[in-house]
Structure 1
Amino acid sequence: MAQVIQASELTLHDVKEKFNLQRVEDEQFFPEWQNDLPQATDAEKQWLDRVKANFLYLAEYPMHEEIVKMVVLSPLLSLANFYSYPFRPVAEKPVEIVFEDEAETLRGRIDVLVLHQTLWITVIEAKRKQLNVLEGIPQALFYMMNRPTIREPLFGFITNGSEFVYLKLMQQDSPRYGLSRLFSLINPGNDLYTVLGVLKRLGEVVNSTKR
């Protein structure tokens, strides 16, 4: 009988070993989070300032993962137009990968999965605010490796409500991934302006490659 391993138990080393993944440090591998970012409008900045203020207030108390989704993720996805055609968010999607030669089955659950038609576009792994956002990278990479195609890049977005990081995965030739810098609501100003810009930019990139 195959051994069942929960995705939440995976370390980054586990995922890299299972899929022969390599991290790319070259900034040119992941220019999408840096170049040609749409600028937030004054109205969007006002809304994002409210999102930050609401989160920092609620962060003074115990906060469940579902609250993080409502307070932070939902406004970001709405402003980035991920609730509109051609995107369609699907929540709590089960994922399973079977490694027959090792008699192992890896299982996981995607908290929020944004789809473009039948292709995975952005995987969002919401973590409770008490956890470092980097702890979600192994699970996000695991989910992203279960994509239905290997021809186009896949982008991931991980947040614990106060921290945000983006992923890019390429599977052509050999699996490779890159990371954006870490954005945080603890930083001066409001990093959500750039977080939203990256989301919008990724939406544009995905739309242009699927036409």
Structure 2
Amino acid sequence: MAQKAISDRFFNEWYEDLPELTEAEKERCDLLKERYLYHRHHGHISEGLVNQIAIAPLLEMASFYDPPFDIRAEYPVQIESVDVDDNEETIYQGQIDTLVIHKKLWVLVIESKGQAFSIESGMAQALTYMLDSPNQSQPTYGFISNGGFSIFLKVLKGEITQYQFSNDFSLYNRKTNELCSVLMILKKISKLFQQT
């Protein structure tokens, strides 16, 4: 079983020593925000459109489509659970929307939801998938987004498996474009694994 980490130091990757963005990257984040809000204003945005408008461009700018990473779409996951009370085994099956792998380690589990879904529905799903990752000594990171809101997650397996969520990031913040923060975090995670 996993427990939520208490110390903020457990998941400092989302707020500490983030890389600076270039002016071109900031402009691209501004364009992605405008594009998302435009389409959102004109109707429902499906999960596929969230991936096309927001997530795929962010992954590209953070170099997750390039070596040394391997990327998989709709990666199947099977999780076995034993109910302690009646000793019955239940098998859950699902798909990770996008899985980024580095040297057979799960680097990033990306769970996207259409704009009609709250971010919380993706948080539980991503955490469940991440607990099934083969990583034993390296952390696994998650990125959950419904387009308008995004959040990161870190899981580290060990004697006691721990996890922690970042703050949430909103495209509806009028004073700043929080997609820039999302991109900085993605770039930091990418660099952490490129150095190993």
Question: Is residue 2:184 matched to residue 1:187?
Answer: no
Q: Which moved more, 1:93-102 or 1:65-74?
A: 93-102
Amino acid at match of 1:46: E
What residue number does 1:121 align with? 107
- Displacement of 1:40 in angstroms is 1.1
Unaligned runs of 5+ in 1: 1-19
Question: Is residue 2:78 matched to residue 1:96?
Answer: yes
Amino acid at match of 1:200: K
Aligned residues: 190
1:151-192 deviation per Cα after TM superposition (whole angstroms, max 9, x unaligned): 111111000001110001011111110111100000121001
Amino acid at match of 1:141: L
Tell me, in whole angstroms, the C-alpha distance in 2 between the residues paired with 1:177 and 1:203: 19
TM-score with structure 1 setting the length: 0.87
What residue number does 2:96 align with? 110
1:90-144 deviation per Cα after TM superposition (whole angstroms, max 9, x unaligned): 0011100223553210111111111113111100000011111122111101111
From 146, 158, 162, the equivalent of 2:148 is 162
> How does 1:1-211 map onto structure 2 within 5 Å?
20-60=1-41, 61-99=43-81, 101-188=87-174, 189-208=176-195, 211=196
> What is the percent sequence identity of the aligned residues?
37
TM-score with structure 2 setting the length: 0.93
Tell me, in whole angstroms, the C-alpha distance in 1 between the residues paired with 2:81 and 2:11: 29
1:16-45 deviation per Cα after TM superposition (whole angstroms, max 9, x unaligned): xxxx22112321111111111011110011
1:31-64 deviation per Cα after TM superposition (whole angstroms, max 9, x unaligned): 1111110111100111110000000000021111
Tell me, in whole angstroms, the C-alpha distance in 2 between the residues paired with 1:99 and 1:132: 26
Tell me, in whole angstroms, the C-alpha distance in 1 between the residues paired with 2:194 and 2:3: 27
Instruction: Please give the root-mean-square deviation of Cα atoms over the aligned residues, in Å.
Output: 1.2
Unaligned runs of 5+ in 2: none
- Displacement of 1:206 in angstroms is 2.2
Amino acid at match of 2:39: L
Which runs of 4 or more aligned residues in structure 1 lie more than 3 Å from their structure 2 counterparts after TM superposition? Answer: none
Tell me, in whole angstroms, the C-alpha distance in 2 between the residues paired with 1:97 and 1:194: 32
